Chains A and B, each alone.
Chain A
Amino acid sequence: MSWTGKVLRINLTAGEITTEALNEEWKNDYLGSRGLATKYLSEEIDPACDPLSAENKMIMATGPLTGTMASTGGRYVVVTKGPLTNCIACSNSGGFIGAEMKSAGWDMIIFEGKSPTPVYLYIENDKAELLPADEIWGTSVWHTDEWLHAKHQDPLLRIAAVGRPAENGCLYAGIINDLHRAAGRSGVGTVMASKNLKAVAVRGTLGVGNIADPAGFMKAVNDGKAVLAENPVTGQGLPAYGTQVLMNVINEIGALPTNNMKEVQFDGAHAISGEAMHEPRKSDGRPNLTTNAACFGCTIACGRISTIDQGHFSVKNKSKYWGNSGGLEYEAAWALGADNGVDDLDALTYCNFICNEEGFDPITFGATVAAAMEMYEDGNLSKEQTGGIDFSFGSAEALTQAVDLVASGEGFGVDLALGSKRLCEKYGRPELSMSVKGLEFPAYDPRGIQGIGLNYATSNRGACHVRGYTVASEVLGIPEKTDPLTAEGKPALVKAFQDATAAVDSAGICLFTTFAWSLDNIAPQVEAACGGGWSPERLAETGERIWNMERDFNLKAGFTRADDNLPERLRTEAAKTGPAKGLVSKVEEMLPEYYELRGWDSDGVPTAETRKRLGLS
């Protein structure tokens, strides 16, 4: 129940489209979205395959709550093997296309092979066809969106697309839907473009029904909405400031990585904070932030809709960027700003617009620029190699030129499109890439927040905050406060967050609900929608099963215990200021206990007993 029970399979090589029933057994074990799509991918591809070959597959999937009235129930995921990391990649996005896909009757779309020529997938309920995309190949996401709406004469069409960087092989290209929502990390857009697939355009008018217990569902949904409304984070902080509510908070506790993680506090933090986005500009008296915005069905509405100062150097004579579009979220503001020492809010907003327009990950992009800046200052990169750009920390001009170069795939942008790991290897400083498994860190320093460091080291898609957001506990006290500076108790905390998150993602709702909701609030909604006995305990166990399945994928892809670690800098160079002054990450101390709690052997491999307990083959 609540699943449509239908899967659309697109063989791009042959141009063939088939439909099949959803695997009943798997949906009971893996729920939907992240879990279920990863099960399909694990069964269908060799985890050791080249992610950019026709052998790799890409799955777009919804969850059982996607498209329903459950608050935030509009999420979808893209699951594939990621080219930036060579790990399992699972990028989650909001906006509206996930619900549209479900309303068109599909739980999941599986793309396989590679089209001989550029195409896009057009879906109108049961009708699905591959159409030529030659006219939009080589153009941006925003142009593609406009072109498809005009071509199909349908303003209600929901569109996900890749831009020029994906086509050019930028390893961290994302898939942008609804103009500024992103399946952003791990290079899922690069995989999509490698298949010659430019866009997916969906119109669904069937609606989402098939609810197991309609009256119970509406009650559970309303109860959940009330909890979100009453919680200070989801009811006030996020609507008012978005995730940017964190910038000043994280800076104050000394965990805001600055200048490629050399420092843990940034003098310019306030200038790029959520509070600053509300302050009127000198030029026109308008604040950066116009309004907050919601994704499908979301009663939190943390999204930012912003403008850039029309007089700012980045948009002078570029009127197309003078209107409103998706504004800065915390991770992007940090990666583009603090990590590069740039405190120019308009420059960051410009970069954010371009990342959306052309489809690439602002976290990896920002962190890659940071690595380049450090190499530039250390003399490993010359001005000749950067194409004449002064890549010093703090340069808003260098940052905005870099974003334009990655967008167009020109000059030094070709190197920046590699991501920090490959860039630093190329210029002889591999230790300066602040990444795990090739994925750059998000905005929390593991020296000042110890638990998140262990999560980064063990996250199945590389350094990622949304795989186990222990910041909630360590900084915000959700569900209970733990000391961010200690390693004690963190392995259990990390495991609990990782497992719960896998379940939340697989339900088709947004992780941000968990600032207010525990699995006790989520289980009644899943159970009323799906039936079949979805308790909080079963959700947690499902999350653990998913986590272990992802781990298995990575082990088969060639990853080992040695990859569960942080860059040397974070383990040996102590924080210089703030509450964490003198501390390094104790990740190596925490790892053995984490393995034990997970039921893995000392090499990080799930034991036979663990596999049996979780029903993994």
Chain B
Amino acid sequence: MQKSLVINPDKCTGCLQCELACSYENEGVFNPSKSRIKVFTFHQEGRFVPYTCTQCSEAWCQQACPVNAITLNLQTGAKEVNESSCVGCKVCTIACPFGTVNYNHSSGKVIKCDLCGGNPKCVEACPTQAITYVDADQTGLEKMRQWATETDNNTATA
């Protein structure tokens, strides 16, 4: 079964545990500035929103890459950057409509979420289950369940 990250901003507290886990897994240090997932704070609205790559099926980054450094992991569905091929041209960072591919100046390559090979550390670290990793074909399941709980059996019409 292929899985997807599902993010529920309502549950996020802005603690950055996801960024810490991500950077530690990928860089070996606790370093939010090198995290593949980012939490945005909208101070005036009192909202926190984690954001990362959605692993597009037809990935702009993959199609834009002139050296085919971005490839599909068939098991996880992740679009992964092959470090040895990446030349750091940054075209993928322009092609991505969501900004989730970014250049890392210390390595000279780009970085993006690769779902940690199927065991995303951000999910493990999140204390409020704002980030979950679920069946890719049922990412709406939890939201449907929420609405279902509010449905009145007597008047429900479908």
Contact = CB atoms under 8 A, between A and B. Distances in A.
B103 to A, nearest CB: 13
A156 B33 contact: yes
Given A204-B33, A205-B33, A296 B15 contact: yes
Interface residues of B, number: 26
B111 to A, nearest CB: 13
A205 B27 CA distance: 12
Interface in A189-236: 204-209, 218, 225, 229
Contacts of B45: 290, 323-324
B1 to A, nearest CB: 26
B7 to A, nearest CB: 16
Interface stretch (A29-37, A51-59, A297-305): A297-305
B14 A205 contact: no
A602 B141 CA distance: 69
B127 A305 contact: no
Contacts of B81: none
Contacts of A325: 43
Given A179-B43, A324-B44, A325-B43, A69 B17 contact: yes
A290 B46 contact: yes
Given A207-B23, A225-B127, A293 B28 contact: no
Interface in B80-127: 125, 127
A303 B15 CA distance: 11
Nearest to B20: A69
A291 interface: yes
A293 B48 contact: yes
A207 B21 CA distance: 12
A294 interface: yes
A328 to B, nearest CB: 14
Contact of B29 (A179, A209, A293, A307): A209
B72 to A, nearest CB: 29
Given A68-B20, A294-B15, 15 more contacts: A69-B20, A96-B16, A156-B33, A205-B34, A207-B31, A209-B30, A229-B127, A239-B13, A290-B46, A291-B47, A291-B48, A295-B15, A297-B16, A299-B127, A306-B46
Contacts of A446: none
A350 B29 CA distance: 40
Contacts of B28: 209
B51 interface: no
B60 interface: no
Contacts of A307: 46
A348 to B, nearest CB: 18
Contacts of A92: none
Interface string A90-122: 000000100100010000000000000000000
Contacts of A67: 30
B126 to A, nearest CB: 9
The 7 closest A-B pairs by CB, nearest first: A207-B31, A207-B29, A294-B15, A324-B46, A209-B29, A290-B46, A323-B44
Given A69-B24, A208-B30, A229-B127, A299 B46 contact: no
A310 interface: no
A295 B13 CA distance: 9
Interface residues on A, range: 35 or more
A169 B28 CA distance: 45
A473 interface: no
B30 to A, nearest CB: 5
Residue picked from A67, A229, A239, A294, most chain B C-beta under 10 Å: A294
Interface of A: 67-69, 71, 96, 99, 103, 156, 179, 204-209, 218, 225, 229, 239, 290-299, 301, 303, 305-307, 323-325
A239 B130 CA distance: 15
Nearest to A303: B13
Given A68-B30, A205-B34, A209-B29, A297 B43 contact: no
A208 B20 CA distance: 10
Nearest to B27: A207
A69 B15 contact: no
Contacts of B125: 69
A293 B127 CA distance: 12
B94 to A, nearest CB: 20
Nearest to A302: B13
A483 B23 CA distance: 47
Contacts of A305: 46
B31 A103 contact: yes
A208 B32 CA distance: 10
Nearest to A208: B30
A297 B15 contact: yes
Contacts of A69: 17, 20-21, 24, 30, 125
Contacts of A298: 13, 15
Nearest to B31: A207
B123 to A, nearest CB: 13
Contacts of A323: 43-45
A309 to B, nearest CB: 15
A209 B30 CA distance: 6
B44 to A, nearest CB: 4
Residue picked from B21, B28, B127, most chain A C-beta under 10 Å: B127
Nearest to B127: A299
Contact of A103 (B13, B21, B33): B33
A291 B48 CA distance: 10
Interface in B108-158: 125, 127-128
Interface string B50-82: 000000000000000000000000000000000
A324 B16 CA distance: 20
A229 B29 CA distance: 25
B14 A293 contact: yes
Contact of B33 (A207, A290, A297, A299): A207
B38 to A, nearest CB: 10
B31 A205 contact: yes
Contacts of A299: 15, 17, 127
16 contacts: A69-B30, A207-B23, A207-B27, A207-B29, A207-B33, A209-B28, A225-B127, A290-B45, A291-B47, A294-B14, A295-B15, A297-B17, A298-B13, A299-B15, A299-B17, A301-B128
Contacts of B13: 239, 291-294, 298, 301, 303
